[in-house]
């Protein structure tokens, strides 16, 4: 009985990890599709395309930082 309980605990943790990974994958897929919906000409793109074109791209450019101080 003790051996079965130990195996059950290991299997239960393994199952929880898989379930959590599946949930995160579905959430990420949904967020990418919502982002694609708001981008013109990218409405029908896959999450992989959105990731490679917008998230994982190397961009060259400048960022101007404007600060205002009121004394």
Confidence of residue 3 (pLDDT cuts 50, 70, 90): low
Q: Is the pLDDT of residue 1 over 60?
A: no
What's the longest Cα–Cα distance across the chain? 74
Nearest to 49 by CA among 33, 38, 63, 27: 33
Task: Give the C-alpha separation, 15 to 12, whole Å.
Answer: 5
Residue 16: predicted pLDDT: 62
More confident residue, 29 or 2: 29
Per-residue pLDDT tens over the stretch 7-60: 666 666 666 666 778 888 889 888 888 888 888 888 888 888 888 887 787 777
3-state secondary structure the chain: CHHHHHHHHHHHHHHHHHHHHHHHHHHHHHHHHHHHHHCCCCCCCCHHHHHHHHHCCCCCCCCCCCCCCCC
């Amino acid at each position: 009985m003790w051996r079965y309980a130990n195996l059950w605990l290991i299997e239960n943790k393994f199952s929880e990890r898989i379930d959590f990974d599946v949930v995160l994958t579905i959430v990420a897929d949904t967020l990418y599709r919502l982002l694609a919906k708001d981008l013109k000409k990218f409405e029908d793109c896959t999450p992989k395309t959105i990731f490679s074109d917008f998230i994982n791209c190397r961009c060259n450019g400048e960022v101007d930082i404007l600060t205002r101080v009121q004394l």
